[in-house]
Amino acid sequence: MSTEVTKYSGDVTYHEVNETVLSMLEKPTFGWYVLLLTCICTWVMGFGCWISMMIYGLGMTGLSHPIMWGVYITNFVFWVGIAHSGTLISAVLYLFRAKFRQPIYRLAEAMTVFAVMTAGLFPIIHVGRPWYAYWLMPVPNERALWPNFKSPLLWDVFAVSTYFTVSTTFFIVGLIPDIASARDKATSKFRKLLYGITSLGWTGNAKQYKNYVAAYLIFAALATPLVVSVHSVVSWDFAMSIIPGWHATIFPPYFVAGAIFSGVAMVITLVIPLRKVFKLERIITDFHFDAMCKLILLTSGVVTYAYVTEFYVAWFSNNMFERYQFWFRPFGEFKLAFWGMAFCNCMAPLTLWYKPFRTNIAYLFVMSIIINIGMWLERFNIIFTSLARDFIPAAWGGYNFSWIDVGITIGAFGWFGMWMTLFIKFFPSIAIVEVKEVIEAPVRDPHSSVHHH
């Protein structure tokens, strides 16, 4: 038993878990401030780009006729995708009792919440008149006009906002006990107050714990369908249209798989530096990376399958427009994007079949970034190439590169990074309670002077 248990996380003790995790909340180092400042500067820069875009018009972007959707929607889908794995890991794997999730799910959830916050910005940045974006909300108004419930964009509004609400609540519920233990350890007045309020008076007695587990289960059950639904709805933005390369029934599963794929990769990207900086090697072990890599292998496979299917269907449909589109992707103007995507999402992950790679942290870090690039390129591919060449040749066009697009894209990472940075300093980014669930319960030893919680 004990060996079986220790497998899930390094042979750490309850005490050690508390120590390591809560030590992460100690007084910020200079490095942390630098990181935070960098993030803030980045997103302020991005915000600047947006403002200038609003003042001078959307012509500042690289968009044009006929490529009316571009980098912003690409980013939107990318970030929504990132947002996925959080809930997947915390909710779905929780229901499946997949034990490797414990030490990483908190971070994944945080990532989810912040990623949705980032994704949510892009539709607003994207529209021509953001000051009227609220017309998409079904609010009663004097015009007696309702939004068009047939429009996939509206479904998006609902899907994403629902997802945000649920995942946030789920996240907060999960936090309660750990905040409590942080509260007990807190020294500074501010933190005492902060944790005091946010821990909602958690004492950890059996009754509370029972309710807590129940609530957590319910939310997990609530969140699970959303994992599938949200990205399916996002994929309908494309699938419901008539454009060759978009109008495909495979999109929902394809997008969901892709989302998990990129999400897990993002988790790895975040966990590795965290683990290094805060010395969590004994809590987050090779075993966890190995498990995540397997998940990546699976989803990479699904994604690759989807790509192949798209091409097959294009050929099989004998539809000249589809065929041209899928000839254009690998050999046309944007072929780099396509081959980049193929390399990053289909070929590179194959190396993970080889176990030593799965446990080589440095390699994984690089790989995870490659995958994220690949997934960004995938969305780029779907959006740009499909729009660039559709039915009427005379209307075909290209995309004008623009620094505004780049600025806003980078700014989004700054925005996301800022929240993450703040989070890891103010809240335990590893679920103490749940980690404890999977490590060996301490044997009462009269000689031991160590006192546990």
Partner 1 sequence: MLGLISLKFLRNNRYYPFAMLLVLFCGALVGNLSAEDAAGYQSVGKRAGVWNDGQAALWDLNIIDHFHYFGPVARARGHKPEQPIKFSHVTHVQKNKMECQFCHWTSAKSPYAAIPEVQTCMGCHSLIGGTTPEQQGEIAKIKDYYAKGEPIPWAKVHVMPDYVKFNHKRHVKAGVGCQECHGQIQEMEQVERVSSMKMGWCIDCHRERGANIDCAVCHH
Partner 2 sequence: MQKKSLTILGQNENIESEGLSRRSFLKVLGAATATTAVACADKADQIIYPNVKGDATQIPGVPSWYSSTCTQCDAGCGVNYKTYEGRVTIVEGNKSHPINKGGLCAIGHSALQDHYDPDRVRQPLEKDSNGVFQPITWKAAYTKIKQAMVDNSKRAFLTKPLNGSLEKLVAEWSKDVGVEHYTYEPLDYSQLAKATAAVYGANYNGVPHYDFSKAEVVVNFGADFLETWISPCEFSRDWAKSRKSKKPVRVFQVEPRLSLTGANADHHLKCKPGTELLIAKAILKELLSRGKNNLPASLLGELEVSLAGISIDVVAKLSNLKIEKIVSAAQRLAEAKTSLVIAGGASAKTNNEYDLQVVCALINRVLGNVGQTINLDRLRAVKSDFQKVKSLIAEINDNKYSVLFVDGSNPLFTIPSDYKFGLAIKKLDLVVSFASHLDETTKEANLVLPASSSIESWGDHQPYVGVNSLVQPAMTPVFDTVSLGDMLLKLTTNEALKKFPEFQDYLKAQWQQVHASAGVAENFETFWKKSLERGGYFAEQKSVAQLGALGAVIVTAKLDMASFDSTKIQQKSDLVLLPYASVKTFDGRAANRPWMQELPDPITKIAWDTWAEINTKTAEAKKIKTGDLVKISNYYGELNVPAYVTDHVDENVIAVPLGNGHSDFGRYASSVGGGNVYNLIPSDKADHLQLFTAHVELKRALGKRKVANTQDVKDSDKQGDRGIARTTYIETKVPGEHKENHEEHGAHHEPEQMYIQREHPLYQWGMVVDLAACTGCSACVTACYAENNIPTVGRKIMTEGREMSWLRLERYDDGTSEDLQISFIPAMCQHCQNAPCEPVCPVYATYHNEDGLNVMVYNRCVGTRYCANNCVYKQRRFNWYEYELPEPLDMQLNPEVMKRVAGVMEKCSFCVHRIKDAKDHAKDEGRLVADGEVQPACVKSCPTEALVFGDLNDPNSRVSKLAKHERAYKILDHHLNTQPSVSYLDNLKYKA
Residue closer to partner 1 (CB basis): 134 or 315? 134
Please, which residue, 263 or 414, has the CB nearer to partner 1? 414
Binder among 190, 393, 446, 447 for partner 2 (CB under 8 A): 393
Q: How far is the CB of 160 from partner 2 (least distance, A)?
A: 13
By the rule CB under 8 A, 66 interacts with partner 1: no
Out of 30, 132, 190, 354, the residue judged to bind partner 2 by CB under 8 A? 132
Q: 319 is written with which tokens?
A: 């539809």
12 and 439 Cβ atoms separated by less than 8 Å? yes
Q: Within 10 Å of residue 377's Cβ, how many Cβ atoms?
A: 23
Among 28, 147, 196, 253, binds partner 2 (CB under 8 A): 147
- Pick the binder of partner 2 from 1, 139, 144, 145 (CB under 8 A): 145
Number of residues that bind partner 1 (CB under 8 A): 16
Choose the one of partner 2, partner 1, none that binds residue 144, judging by a C-beta under 5 to 8 angstroms depending on kind.
partner 1
CB of 92 to partner 1, least distance (A): 34
Among 300, 272, 287, residue whose Cα is nearest residue 371: 300
Residue 407 host element (H or E): helix 403-426
Answer yes or no whether residue 139 interacts with partner 1 by CB under 8 A: yes
> What are the counts of helices (DSSP H) followed by strands (DSSP E) for the chain?
18, 0
How far apart are the C-alpha atoms of 228 and 92, rounded to whole Å?
10
Residue 132 makes contact with partner 1 by CB under 8 A: yes
Token pair, residue 233, equals 């709805």
Are 337 and 380 in contact by the 8 Å Cβ rule? The answer is yes
Which of 126, 183, 329, 379 is the binder for partner 2 (CB under 8 A)?
Answer: 126
- Asked if 180 contacts 199 with a C-beta cutoff of 8 angstroms, the reply is yes
Region of 61 (left: φ > 0; alpha: ψ -120 to 50; beta: rest) is beta
142 binds, among partner 2, partner 1, none (CB under 5 to 8 A by kind): partner 1
Region binding partner 1 by CB under 8 A among candidate stretches 48-56, 86-94, 187-195, 332-340: 48-56
Q: Is 401 in the site for partner 1 (CB under 8 A)?
A: no
Scanning 131-250, the segments in alpha helix (DSSP H) are: 152-185, 189-198, 206-239
148 binds partner 1 (CB under 8 A): no
Q: How far is the CB of 52 from partner 2 (least distance, A)?
A: 13
Told to check if 197 binds partner 1 by CB under 8 A, we report no
Q: CA 402 to CA 176: how far, in whole Å?
A: 45
Q: For residue 262, what are the contacts with CB-CB under 8 A and spacing of at least 6?
A: 78, 81, 82, 84, 85, 371, 372, 375
What Cα–Cα distance (Å) separates residue 6 from each residue in 11, 13, 60, 292, 366? Answer: 5, 10, 56, 18, 28
As a whole number of angstroms, the distance between CA 287 and CA 66 comes to 48
- Considering only 104-112, 126-134, 192-200, 254-262, which stretch makes contact with partner 1 by CB under 8 A? 126-134
144: contact with partner 1 by CB under 8 A: yes
DSSP state of 362: H
**List of residues contacting partner 1 (CB under 8 A):** 47-48, 51-52, 54-55, 130-132, 134, 139-144
Which residues bind to partner 2, rule: CB under 8 A? 56-59, 63-66, 68-69, 123, 126-129, 132-133, 135-136, 145-148, 150-154, 157, 237, 240-243, 319-321, 333, 387, 390-398, 400
